[in-house]
Structure 1
Amino acid sequence: MMEYFSFYLGIIVAIVLLIMLANKIKVAYPVLLVVAGLCISFIPGVPVIHMDPEVIFYIFLPPLLYEAAWTVSWKELWHWRRIITSFAFVVVFLTAMSVAFFANHFIPGFSLALGFLLGGIVSPPDAVSAGAILKFVKVPKRMSSILEGESLLNDASSLIIFRFALIVVATGQFIWSDAALSFSWMMLGGVGIGLILGWIFMKAHKFLPTDANTDIVLTLVTPYIMYMAAEEVHSSGVLAVVSGGLLLSTHRHHFLSSTSRLRGVNVWESFCFVLNGLVFILIGLDLPEITAGLESVSLAAAIGYGVMVTAVLIIGRIIAAYGAVVVTLIARNFITVADAKNPGLKGPFLLGWTGMRGVVSLAAALSIPVHLADGSPFPQRNLILFITFIVILLTLLLQGLTLPYLIRKLKFPNLDKELPEDEVYLSLKKELAAFALGQLRSNYPEQLNRQPMLQQMAIKWESVTAVSPDEPMAEECKIIYIDLLEQQRIWLLQKNKTEKTLDEEIIRRHLKFLDMEEEKLHI
């Protein structure tokens, strides 16, 4: 292990430099990292990297899913729940089915079960890739919310398809009743375990004598425990992490201190920054091992199969996106839907084009056993691995590089009549200052008359400025100020809950500002 330490250290440095370059040239960093890994793999003397699927599933996946669950807005997730679940489950299943029938018909030696196995592997789009690209371009809020919500759930649905297909290939039979029970347990058990463990960790944070350091350590181990507990009882570890993460994220201001929240954000951003960088560069570095496994199929034929499967995935997702819109427009006549307006042709096309594949697909392919239970080689394993790599590479390069241009070219209209974010932020800041001023005057009139520091706070809120007093604050003032900050948090959270059209990201900016104000008192 130590003999490769300098190599892995160099990889970390290369990741940092490549991400800096990606930000400079406005290219999504997953694209650059995969290409760089591919180029590095051809350098003579570079160690052959073996990607253990258990490492991906148990080390990389839980924290990345957990961080995504903390970032996504539950309000937006619930608002767009129908379209999100359609893409995360229905579209993923239809995509896997289209790949299955295509592979069965056009790729020699592929049974329908093997086709579903390949479809389950390559059907889920990668959340990190889309998120990295959307940082550089402006899209309607609804689009980013749908993509974020889909990314939390599509890994679970695709891995469920993958597991069932793996069982059929290994046993040669598919029992519907057993599959239905297993599917139900994977879904309900995963969500239930995540919620139960999330509740336990929430109480641990709240009632144990923790500080910022122990709080952050607890958040780091939480996703791993959720994932392993769910997988141990054969339910969905992905759904356990997502459901538990959403529960804790929604109630973060009830059990974490401002110090823990602020420091935790910095730790998690750095941690996931390294994990994301590693997984994408490892995809490129793994090419020699994948290519070496091709024996009975020529390289040209394997590339051709990969290109055709990629085309099926892209076209199938775009068709499914338009199909989802048609279903929504029909459903609005019978039930209340989140968006009753016709989004036109641009929106579904964009959602369909954001289908870059990533590390979950490769990890699933690598987890296919080398041999069946009877000792015979697993059929088409090496070809499935190679096709998966081609799909990841082509979708990242083709869709990843063209998506920013496509978004700028389409010029999306403001479907939700959204005001500029800064304008909404300043408006809410004025409301928040007026609320805090009212609380101070009604609850602490006596202290306000005799404490100069509280009078300065009142002046600050009256002028809606962020200037802090320079002289030390009396202990009584600190207690009152902390109470006022907490009252403002409650007001913001309530406003976020009652005003359905208010962007939660703006609420979070205000909550972070309140955390920073409270943090100043401890310096």
Structure 2
Amino acid sequence: MVENFIYYLGLVLVIIASIMLANRLKVAYPIILVIAGLLISFIPGLPAIKIDPELIFIIFLPPLLYEAAFAVSWKEIWKLRRIITSFAFIVVFLTAITVAFVANSFIPGFSLALGFVLGGIVSPPDAVSAGAILKFVKVPRNVSTLLEGESLFNDASSLIIFRFAMVAVATGQFIWQDAVVSFGWMIFGGLGIGVALAFIFLKIEKIFPTDVNMDAILSLAAPYVMYIAAEEVHASGVLAVVSGGLFLSVRRHEIFRTSESRLKGSNVWESFVFLINGIVFLLIGLDLPEIMVGLDKEGISLSDAVTYGLIITAVLIAIRFLASFGALFTTLVMRNFIKVADSSPGMKVPVLMGWTGMRGVVSLAAALSIPVVMENGQPFPHRDLILFITFVVILVTLILQGLTLPALIKKLRLSDSNSGGYMSKEESEHFIIKEIRRVALNYLNKNYKERRSENLYFNQMLDRWEKEDKEDSIHKMSDEGKEIYFETLEQQRIWLREENRRNMNIDEEYIRHYLTRLDLEEERLRM
């Protein structure tokens, strides 16, 4: 027991060291973690890590999906809703169908139902991998929003396909009318349950007194409650977490009501997701030896298994490129009839979108969740082959596309164009700074102008906004002056949130940046 604990602690240190190395080399950390896990797996005498397949989804998916939904901008998702939904649903379905028929045609003994199981597993690209790569290069905001928004919903659509395919494999039949009803319930039930539970969490925060620690714990519990509740009634737990996360994302100031809870909650989530992502990508490499043992039991040679994996990988890359240029063609046609987010997308964005199809966390979690034995007592057919193909797909797309994506982005030179219709960074900063200063002055002059001549700290406060005085002037305020200053900061927050909803030309990233600056300023003064 002690030895295993030391081993697990060592793996955490490996995760930290791998990410430090990745940052030093300016390589996406999922790539380094997969390779590190692969190298560790060949060290003899180390204990194997075994996780109950039923727990894979529950442990890893809810917090990762919730954090992604909480971080993304609903305003920007809505702006790009047509192309996001097409990639998240239509493209995923087409990908799964194509993979199913290709696997059924090229892999001996692979039924069409098993093909759909594999298609559901490998169809969704991984936003974590793409995000880790994109942080080293600049891309237009609309491209990163497309990737983030797509990943939120394609996980749900792919896992719905995966679930139906698993039922077909287990029962040997697929009843279309039952599937349609179940499909509708999974989607709308999942969305409804997620929003309803998010509303309950919101009310709990408003009604009951909570402190910073309680806020953080409730935020960690929320995705698990949403996921488990939806799955218990056979709705989509993934959609429940996504819809609940998006609902609370636009109300984050009501969930985290103080600057301290917002800052500390952000730090807690950043560390938690950091650890979970590290564990998952390390598991990808650590699982290979056990998968290869299973291949031997199935009587499948390593060369044949690698070939099948490369075929499926090539199919996935080809389909994504076709879908990207299909979206371009559709946009060029539909701009004549409806308003589109980008009426002149050009050829560069489809090329980039086509090459951002790295697979990762969701694919691994889905593959590992396949039971070793079905309910009828029979071994799940070709389970280890499916796991191996998934491993090959993840490894090849991470290394091939992940390592070459930064060079492709630099070659395409997208950073100075395709901004999605937003004001530039300089324009946004100038506008925001000017307006929040105006808000502060209006509030102070309206509520406390008559006291300006009475107290030195009011003069200091007003002068700070009028003349942008030095930062240390606020530290000379009395306690009463500080409280008035905090009121002023809250008025600025209100203006920023309202302007974010009202003004579609401002990137929400800048709004959130200044909201964080106000929180930091308040906490600095309180301490």
- Give the TM-score category using the shorter length: over 0.9
Structure-1-length-normalised TM-score: 0.97
Structure 1 position 336, deviation (Å): 2.3
Give the SS at the match of 1:443: helix
> 1:165 — aligned with what?
165
Give the SS at the match of 1:340: coil
Question: Pairwise CA RMSD of aligned residues?
Answer: 1.5
Higher mean alpha-carbon deviation, 28-37 vs 11-20, is at: 11-20
Q: Which runs of 5+ in 2 are unaligned?
A: none
Q: Is the 8 A contact 1:440 1:448 kept in 2?
A: no
Q: Is the 8 A contact 1:96 1:120 kept in 2?
A: yes
Q: Is the 8 A contact 1:430 1:464 kept in 2?
A: no
Structure 1 position 521, deviation (Å): 4.0
Give the SS at the match of 2:452: helix
Higher mean alpha-carbon deviation, 305-314 vs 455-464, is at: 455-464
Q: 1:335 to 1:296 in 2, by over 3 A?
A: same
Structure 1 position 448, deviation (Å): 2.4
Residue 20 (structure 2) pairs with residue 20 (structure 1): yes
> 1:209 — aligned with what?
209
Equivalent residue letter for 2:520: M
> 1:276 — aligned with what?
277
> 1:307 — aligned with what?
310
Residue 322 (structure 2) pairs with residue 319 (structure 1): yes
Higher mean alpha-carbon deviation, 366-375 vs 90-99, is at: 366-375
Structure 1 position 421, deviation (Å): 2.1
**Within 2, Cα distance between the matches of 1:369 and 1:56?**
11
Structure 1 position 205, deviation (Å): 1.1
Structure 1 position 465, deviation (Å): 5.2
Give the SS at the match of 2:494: helix
Q: Is the 8 A contact 1:126 1:358 kept in 2?
A: yes
Q: In the TM superposition, what whole-angstrom CA distance separates every residue of 1:465-485 from its partner, at most 9, and x where no partner exists?
A: 561326553333233222211
Q: In the TM superposition, what whole-angstrom CA distance separates every residue of 1:460-507 from its partner, at most 9, and x where no partner exists?
A: 112335613265533332332222111111111111111102000100
> 1:452 — aligned with what?
456
> 1:236 — aligned with what?
236
Superposed counterparts of 1:176-195, under 5 Å: 176-195=176-195
> 1:88 — aligned with what?
88
Higher mean alpha-carbon deviation, 202-211 vs 23-32, is at: 202-211
> 1:286 — aligned with what?
287
Give the SS at the match of 2:169: helix
Structure 1 position 418, deviation (Å): 5.3
Higher mean alpha-carbon deviation, 363-372 vs 274-283, is at: 363-372
**Within 2, Cα distance between the matches of 1:334 and 1:245?**
33
Residue 427 (structure 2) pairs with residue 427 (structure 1): no
> 2:137 — aligned with what?
137
**Within 1, Cα distance between the matches of 2:180 and 2:313?**
30
Q: Is the 8 A contact 2:190 2:230 kept in 1?
A: yes
Q: Is the 8 A contact 2:57 2:369 kept in 1?
A: no
**Within 1, Cα distance between the matches of 2:470 and 2:516?**
14
Q: 1:500 aligns with which of 497, 504, 519?
A: 504
Equivalent residue letter for 1:496: N
Higher mean alpha-carbon deviation, 444-453 vs 125-134, is at: 444-453
Q: Is the 8 A contact 1:100 1:116 kept in 2?
A: yes
**Within 1, Cα distance between the matches of 2:133 and 2:274?**
15
Q: Is the 8 A contact 2:422 2:506 kept in 1?
A: no
Give the SS at the match of 1:444: helix
> 1:59 — aligned with what?
59
Q: In the TM superposition, what whole-angstrom CA distance separates every residue of 1:251-287 from its partner, at most 9, and x where no partner exists?
A: 1113421111011011111111111111111110111
Structure 1 position 427, deviation (Å): 3.4
Structure 1 position 415, deviation (Å): 2.3
Q: 1:471 to 1:137 in 2, by over 3 A?
A: closer
Q: In the TM superposition, what whole-angstrom CA distance separates every residue of 1:10-45 from its partner, at most 9, and x where no partner exists?
A: 111111111111111100000000001001111111
Structure 1 position 435, deviation (Å): 2.1
Equivalent residue letter for 1:431: E
> 2:261 — aligned with what?
260
Q: Is the 8 A contact 1:489 1:514 kept in 2?
A: yes
Higher mean alpha-carbon deviation, 245-254 vs 448-457, is at: 448-457
Residue 386 (structure 2) pairs with residue 381 (structure 1): no
Residue 372 (structure 2) pairs with residue 370 (structure 1): yes
Q: Is the 8 A contact 1:366 1:385 kept in 2?
A: yes
Superposed counterparts of 1:436-515, under 5 Å: 436-464=440-468, 467-469=471-473, 471-515=475-519
Q: In the TM superposition, what whole-angstrom CA distance separates every residue of 1:404-457 from its partner, at most 9, and x where no partner exists?
A: 111011112512365542552243112211221122112221122322112112
**Within 2, Cα distance between the matches of 1:4 and 1:440?**
61
Higher mean alpha-carbon deviation, 440-449 vs 73-82, is at: 440-449
Structure 1 position 194, deviation (Å): 0.8
Q: Is the 8 A contact 1:37 1:284 kept in 2?
A: yes
Structure 1 position 118, deviation (Å): 0.6
**Within 1, Cα distance between the matches of 2:61 and 2:202?**
22
Size of the alignment, in residue pairs? 522
Q: In the TM superposition, what whole-angstrom CA distance separates every residue of 1:94-113 from its partner, at most 9, and x where no partner exists?
A: 11111011111111111211
Equivalent residue letter for 1:433: R
Q: In the TM superposition, what whole-angstrom CA distance separates every residue of 1:36-93 from its partner, at most 9, and x where no partner exists?
A: 1001111111222224333331111111111111110111011111111111111111
